[in-house]
Amino acid sequence: MGRGHEGARHSGTDLAWAALGGAPALTERIAYGGPPGLLPARLPVMSLARSTVAVCALAGAELAARRNGGPVTAVRVDDGAVATAFLSERHLRVDGRACSSFAPLSRFWRTADGWVRTHANYPHHRARLLRALDLPETAGGADAEAALSGRRAEEIEETVCAAGGLAVAVRTPGAWRAHPQGTAVAAHPLLTLDTLGDAPPRPLPPLAGLPTLPAAGLRVLDLTRVIAGPVATRTLALLGAEVLRVDAPQLPESQDAHSDTGFGKRSTVLDLGSPAGRASFEELLFRADVVVTGYRPGALDRFGLTPEALAARRPGLVVARISAWGDDGPWGGRRGFDSLVQVATGIAAVEADAGSASKDSEESRGGAQRSGTPGTLPAQALDHGTGYLLAAAVLRALTGQSRTGGSFLATLALARTARWLMHDLADDAEPHPGPGPGPQTPGAGAYDPAHHLRDTDSPVGRLRHALPPVSFDGSPATWATPPGRCGTDAPVWQ
């Protein structure tokens, strides 16, 4: 594989690898290739995508080398595979049926003073949104439009949030920097990887045979939802971990979403509020090596699932946390999704349909946001990118733990990844091929996503799905098992 465009590609990878505490020289093991011009946007989305996949693959190769005692093998990053994987939920087909779509009430709305975006994909979020707007359950788009058009965007944001729903006002990058939550996010690095306490090193037996599965023999409790966390645990499953996803009975997951991110995993339901559910969870925790959580900060504390409490009960545990807005600041405890983080942080303003507005200054970008429809990234790149970073952090923690022991905590947030995209990766921006930020094919025959898709039979039907983009010498080409029916497995380790 060639090493073209190294100047643009290495800087993002180097920044991400440094955030993970990796040895700088190891990034020279990475080779890049694939067609240009994928995931086109004003912001350097492709740089984010390839960098996060690159460090994840490198962390996997590093852990494999640690277990086998040899050198870190070569890592390959193909832009075509990366771009396809970052759109995995859009490529998914179940018996030929397309699965990915936003609900009718999950969209941009014009308000009295700008724009707001709502998220109502889950039934409970839709019900809360309608309740906050004093609308009946039967209300549709026209009713919501009438209710929102005469109100201020930030007033809608606060009203819906207070009702437990999701709505965020579209802000410019400057407005987000001046916002208290933007200030809180800016005070943190892209991610943190810290020790939680003392524990002896956990021996990891050497790997045997092919494919090389650096996480073989490790058990992962997956308490995540939607895309970012499930992408991380899907990647750990690819690399050999036994992953058990745990959902609450009162928060059923979409089967289509699980059919995208449930590869290699089993899935169960536990009521942590019941004595039986708590007892089952503690039995699982006693033998777990990794716990990944994706709920808003504080949501799981009442169940004794703070990182400190988990590490106290299971010394040597790796805990990885992902949230929308981060752990602190006035929005630290708020719900959020990729689409809403794009809106709050200024991404939607930068990617707006700017018309004749110049893109040379932030002021003109703000004007574009006021006059044109807000934009979106060509993929839910904050979700996918943060997911690969989270998997990389877990793999690096396992490598470090095998040397020094200890319990580890990795902390990531979509808003931190957004800041990285908008500021630290600015020099990696590729030329924008046209006025629209949507996914495009750069030329006849140059990129065919079918090369990175596969058909697989599963308990829910025949799946057409994206192949994993994480690749190093000896790594698996795909997952060992397809996704099953969400929540139907027993809460036990195999």
Two tokens at 312? 């106290």
Residue-level pLDDT at 96: 97
442 near 431, Cβ under 8 Å? no
Q: What angle (nearest 5°) sits at the alpha carbon of residue 223, between those of residues 218 and 226? A: 120
Torsion of CA 181, 339, 324, 326, to 10 degrees: -30
97-98 and 108-110 beta bridge pairing: unpaired
For residue range 363-392, list pLDDT tens digits in order: 333 333 345 789 999 999 999 999 999 999
Quick one: average pLDDT of 215-233?
97
Q: What is the DSSP letter of 106?
A: S
Q: What angle (nearest 5°) sits at the alpha carbon of residue 38, between those of residues 36 and 41? A: 120
What are the C-alpha distances in Å from 32 to residues 38, 63, 81, 424?
Answer: 14, 21, 11, 20
464 near 93, Cβ under 8 Å? yes
Residue-level pLDDT at 4: 41
Q: In what order do the strands lie in the sheet with 290-293?
A: 192-197, 407-413, 318-323, 290-293, 219-223, 242-247, 265-269
- Please return the burial class of 420, using the count of CB atoms within 10 Å of its CB with bins 0-12, 13-18 and 19+: buried
For residue range 25-82, list pLDDT tens digits in order: 999 999 999 999 999 999 999 999 999 999 999 999 999 999 999 999 999 999 999 9
74 near 29, Cβ under 8 Å? yes
**To the nearest whole number, what is the mean pLDDT of the chain?**
90
CA atoms within 13 A on the CB side of 260: 28
Two tokens at 438? 């949507």
What are the C-alpha distances in Å from 285 to residues 323, 487, 492?
Answer: 21, 18, 10
Residue-level pLDDT at 426: 55
Give the whole-angstrom CA distance, residue 478 versus residue 383: 21
Residue-level pLDDT at 176: 98
Residue-level pLDDT at 1: 38
Percentage of the chain with pLDDT > 90? 84
For residue range 426-452, list pLDDT tens digits in order: 544 343 333 333 333 333 347 899 999
| pLDDT confidence band for 10 (50 / 70 / 90) | low
Residue-level pLDDT at 441: 35
For residue range 316-331, list pLDDT tens digits in order: 999 999 999 999 999 9
Lowest mean pLDDT among 230-239, 404-413, 441-450: 441-450
56 near 468, Cβ under 8 Å? no
| pLDDT confidence band for 230 (50 / 70 / 90) | very high
| Positions of E strands within 347-458 | 407-413, 453-458
- Residue 210: count other Cβ atoms within 10 Å of its Cβ: 10
- Residue 478: count other Cβ atoms within 10 Å of its Cβ: 16
Give the whole-angstrom CA distance, residue 191 versus residue 333: 18
For residue range 191-219, list pLDDT tens digits in order: 999 999 999 998 899 998 899 999 999 99
Phi and psi angles of residue 459, each rounded to the nearest 5 degrees, phi first: -60, -20
Give the whole-angstrom CA distance, residue 42 versus residue 144: 31
Task: Using the Cα atoms of residue 302, residue 303, residue 307 and residue 308 in order, give the sign of their dihedral.
Answer: positive
For residue range 274-331, list pLDDT tens digits in order: 999 999 999 999 999 999 999 999 999 999 999 999 999 999 999 999 999 999 999 9
| pLDDT confidence band for 9 (50 / 70 / 90) | very low
- Residue 45: count other Cβ atoms within 10 Å of its Cβ: 28
- Please return the burial class of 432, using the count of CB atoms within 10 Å of its CB with bins 0-12, 13-18 and 19+: middle
| pLDDT confidence band for 3 (50 / 70 / 90) | very low
Residues near 288 by Cβ (< 8 Å), separated by ≥ 6? 219, 220, 221, 314, 317
For residue range 149-193, list pLDDT tens digits in order: 999 999 999 999 999 999 999 999 999 999 999 999 999 999 999
Quick one: average pLDDT of 136-141?
92
- For residue 265, the cross-strand partners are 243
